[in-house]
């Protein structure tokens, strides 16, 4: 049922964009003196038809909402009365014809700006600061001197406001130049500049955004889940080793654990492998030797120790910033956002 709703809403959205687009052609053509014969929303046999204005322009609604058109008087399509020749499409100045052609996409962009303006004015916007969480050894990021906790504030002197800006800024800069200057702010507030340098082989792997940071060798701070045990499956390796709900994991095989996903990252995928888990309970540190095993939970088979987290994932304090706008400020931000979306 949800798929049907998605399809219906998609049709509604496309139909509305078509109306805005074709109305742009229609409105500008009328204002410039073209004679418009028909303004049709949709294709196929007309469902509704009405003539309006002194030109008796046909307003048509057709059943297939995936397109539309504006038909103007054009002598290439048939005889034109002498008195209407000055208003024929081919008799109008070239600059007017160009404006009519550009009016459709232009109205779509203006509509996007208006919608974004209203959203930003009413709700503001929330951004995630571009803070580095992990840096891979021997990577371009490590060679440049990027460190965990650094916040990227500019790329090639262009200010950065959030993590999305980092992704698009890095992709554009690295692919264009092979090297990128990052302005970063360390946790102590000190600013410095580092330069990311990539070789041709690395740049070939940067085509996908999902692979971008991995190739450059660093990760951005995102959701975190405290490494606290929430649930232990009965008769699982974790239960037999004495782990309980509320235990806080410090390390797995001497690798420090800062997030519950670190446990999953360090967990062997071969049943029978033994790991050393260091954890605290009531302020006292303990160590357990646990053999990972093939387990089943809720019909799903996986390799692990039988411990999971019940703590919801959340952003660290201060990572998420909410911005509010005045009406003029919201309009400027909406225009910037529309430009970024269009340029990308």
Catalytically annotated residues:
22
SS (H, E, C) the chain: CHHHHHHHHHHHHHHHHHHHHHHHHHHHHHHCCCCEEEEEEEECCCCEEEEECCCCEEEEECCEEEEEEEEECCHHHCCCCHHHHHHCHHHCCHHHHHHHHHHHHHHHHHHHHHHHHHHHHHHCEEEECCEEEEECCCCHHHHHCCCCCCEEEEECCEECCCHHHHHHHHHHHHHHHCEEEEEEECCCCCEEEEEEECCHHHHHCCCCHHHHHHHHCEEECCCECCCECCEECCCCHHHHCCCCCCCEEEEECCEECCCHHHHHHHCCCCCCCEEEEEEEECCEEEEEEEECEEEEECCEEEEECCEECCCCCECCCCCEEEECCCHHHHHHHHHHHHHHHHHC
Count other Cβ atoms within 10 Å, centred on residue 13.
Answer: 10
Q: Which residues pair with 154 in a beta bridge?
A: 159, 183
């Amino acid at each position: 049922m949800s798929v049907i709703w998605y399809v219906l809403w998609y049709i509604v959205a496309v139909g509305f964009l078509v109306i805005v687009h074709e109305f742009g052609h229609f409105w500008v053509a009328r204002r410039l003196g073209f004679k418009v014969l028909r303004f049709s929303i949709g294709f196929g046999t007309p469902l509704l038809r009405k003539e309006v204005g002194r030109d008796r322009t046909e307003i048509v609604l057709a059943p297939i909402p995936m397109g539309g058109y504006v038909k103007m008087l054009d002598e290439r399509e048939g005889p034109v009365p002498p008195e209407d020749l000055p208003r024929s499409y081919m008799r109008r100045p070239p600059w007017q014809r160009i404006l009519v052609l550009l009016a459709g996409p232009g109205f779509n962009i203006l509509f996007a700006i208006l919608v974004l303006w209203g959203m930003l004015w009413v709700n503001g916007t929330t951004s995630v600061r571009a803070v580095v969480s992990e840096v891979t050894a021997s990577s371009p990021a490590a060679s440049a001197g990027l460190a965990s906790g650094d916040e990227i504030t500019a790329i090639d002197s262009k200010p950065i406001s959030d993590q999305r800006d980092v992704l698009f800024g890095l992709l554009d800069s690295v692919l264009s130049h092979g090297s990128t200057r990052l302005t970063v702010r360390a946790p102590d507030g000190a600013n410095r500049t580092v330069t990311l340098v990539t070789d041709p082989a690395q740049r070939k792997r940067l085509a996908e955004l999902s692979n971008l940071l991995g190739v450059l060798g660093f990760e951005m701070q995102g959701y975190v889940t405290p490494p606290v045990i929430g649930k232990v499956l009965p008769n699982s390796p974790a239960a037999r080793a004495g782990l309980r709900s509320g235990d806080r994991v410090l390390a797995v095989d001497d690798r420090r654990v800062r997030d519950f996903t670190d446990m999953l990252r360090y967990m062997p995928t071969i049943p029978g492998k033994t790991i050393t888990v260091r954890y605290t309970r009531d302020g006292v540190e303990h160590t357990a030797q646990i053999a990972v095993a093939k387990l089943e939970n809720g019909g799903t088979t996986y390799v692990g120790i039988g411990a999971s987290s019940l703590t919801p994932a959340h952003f660290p304090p201060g990572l998420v910033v909410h911005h509010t706008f005045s009406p003029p400020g919201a309009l400027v931000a909406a225009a910037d956002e529309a430009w970024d979306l269009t340029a990308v």
